[in-house]
Amino acid sequence: MAHEHKLSIFRGRLTFKDNIQKIWGVLILLSIITAIEVALGIKKPEIFASPWLSPFEGGFFAMLGNILLGMFIFMKPLNLIFIVLTIVKAYYITWDFMHMRDEVMGLRRAVVWTGVFLICYLVFILLTEGDYIFEVYKDGFQTWDF
Amino acid sequence: MDATVNHTANDGPTWGGGNQPLKASYGKLMMWFFILSDALTFSGFIAAYGFSRFKFIDSWPIADEVFTHVPFFHGNYPMYYVAFMTFVLIMSSVTMVLAVDAGHKMKQNRVIWYMFFTIIGGIIFVSSQGWEWATFIKGEYGALETKGGKILQLVDVEGNRIALSDIATPLPTERAQHERKNGIWFTDEGTRSTYTAAEAVAGVLANEEVLIRTIYLNEDGEKTVLSREETVAKLQDVTGTVEGANLIHNEYGVPLFGDFFFFITGFHGFHVLTGILINIIIFFNVIVGTYERRGHYEMVEKVGLYWHFVDLVWVFVFTFFYLV
């Protein structure tokens, strides 16, 4: 059984001497990311509390802009940061702990792309529907709070 | 680069598993199949959580205010304990991958020790989760509930939470717990809360400085606190009290929050539990030398994949339950 490991992370900018050193390096990276998440979660800085952009008004291109830049218009930057950091952590767990980095590209894509496309669709459809029901509760009832 | 196939001649039979485009063993491929399908199951649960949260986006409980406890310490420590749990799980992932590495080098003793530490980490994590559940179920302050199932929490003028037990005025009451031995034998009622709605309402009326905090978020993302007049008016709607959490009521706010907490962390905890059991089986196999005789430690690698997957799911649960 071949067991060569690819020892570079950050697109080759950081190369470890052996596999064990790489494992500890990735642990340090994951710990730093978790520490940042926890610090932000406790502190909740003001600048990340409200979206950086407000929705564009009027016309087809405004709508297109709202869809394309939706993450910056409708999401709190803090939540966006948490989700991006989570995906970064997931990447390193899969690539280095689960050895995806050492597998052939076909296996990587078979697993990762399948998951990513299905999950994106599922999240899109469920969050859209949830928001629709929220609007119905808000505007479609005499009172909802009794 | 790996995908570039520079020899088209068949090295083996075309059908019947002769080609190995993914260059992974049967066992590892099947483990990846399982992990992918399990990942989709978890995504379904977490997306459903997102659905319900978007449905009640203006009244969802704030996680920092719910999970504020650390064992053996009193006071308000949001997130620290769950951060510790996350670290324990990542650490046990590290010892697992070290065990895989030692397995590749056929170092039996090191595999044994690393597997042992992995199992200990898993046990610490599951026990912590059990403690977290117990704390969540027990609750801390208690709350009032309206006819529409909305939760009203009590605060003082500075916004500090007030417990029901601090203010409720005991009233003489005839009400007794209905048990199976009384009346119709096959019916009983669930646990009754310590205070009746009337006692809690009397307590709020008697204490001028007590205000009601609703479940609705204001523009600053904080829960709305009513004025004293609004508080007194709101008491009309109170029909009961809630202490702690179950699947139907919880003192933290929207009942679905409790349901998803139990379901998703429970399902994840069950995965950790089975992971520990499988790890223990492999651990003993390593000790008796099964893989030494087999000539390779691929079994450790496969159980390692599962164990890392459990860690991976926790990373997402941590984000969507405790941070976002």
Question: Residue A109 and residue A9: Cα distance in Å, rounded?
Answer: 19
Q: Which tokens hold the place of B287?
A: 């000790």
Strands B151-155 and B223-225: unpaired
From-to residues of CATH 1.20.120.80 in chain B = 26-139+257-323
User: A130 vs B50: CB contact, 8 Å cut-off?
Assistant: yes
A8 to chain B, any CB pair closer than 8 A? The answer is: no
Which residues of chain B lie closer than 8 angstroms to A130, CB-CB?
Answer: 50-55, 57
Is the model's pLDDT at A6 over the cut of 70? yes
Please name which of B309, B144, B321, B100 lies closest in space to residue B232, comparing C-alpha atoms.
B144
Q: Are residues A81 and A124 in the same domain?
A: no
Closest CB to A42 among B51, B58, B79: B79
* A14-26 pLDDT, tens digit each: 889 888 999 999 9
User: A137 vs B55: CB contact, 8 Å cut-off?
Assistant: yes
**Minimum distance, in Å, between the CA of residue B195 and any CA atom of chain A:** 21
Question: Residue B110 and residue B104: Cα distance in Å, rounded?
Answer: 11
* B253-289 pLDDT, tens digit each: 999 999 999 999 999 999 999 999 999 999 999 999 9
User: A104 vs B3: CB contact, 8 Å cut-off?
Assistant: yes
**Architecture per CATH, B26-139+257-323:** Up-down Bundle (1.20)
Q: Are residues A86 and A111 in the same domain?
A: no
Q: What are the percentages of helix, strand and coil residues in chain B, rounded to 5?
A: 55, 10, 35
Do the domain assignments include residue A146? no
What ipTM was assigned to the predicted interfaces of this complex?
0.90
Question: Residue A87 and residue A89: Cα distance in Å, rounded?
Answer: 5
User: How many angstroms separate the Cα of A8 from the Cα of each of A30, A144, B318?
Assistant: 16, 56, 28
Q: Which tokens hold the place of B151?
A: 């939760």
Do the domain assignments include residue A71? yes
Of A62-66, B32-36, B141-145, B298-302, the poorest mean pLDDT is in A62-66
Domain hosting A12: range is 1-102
The share of chain B scoring above pLDDT 90, in percent, equals 64
**Minimum distance, in Å, between the CA of residue B190 and any CA atom of chain A:** 24
Q: Which tokens hold the place of B85?
A: 């749990």
Question: Residue B262 and residue B49: Cα distance in Å, rounded?
Answer: 12
User: B83 vs A38: CB contact, 8 Å cut-off?
Assistant: yes
Do the domain assignments include residue A40? yes
Do the domain assignments include residue A64? yes
* Total domain count, chain A: 2
Is the model's pLDDT at B89 over the cut of 60? yes
Q: Are residues A63 and A22 in the same domain?
A: yes
Chain B CA closest to residue A4: B104
B217 to chain A, any CB pair closer than 8 A? The answer is: no
Q: What is the pLDDT of residue B5?
A: 52
Coil, strand or helix at B144: strand
Is the model's pLDDT at A1 over the cut of 50? no
Higher pLDDT, B14 or B11: B14
Any long-range contacts for B5-11 (C-beta under 8 Å, 24+ apart)?
Answer: none
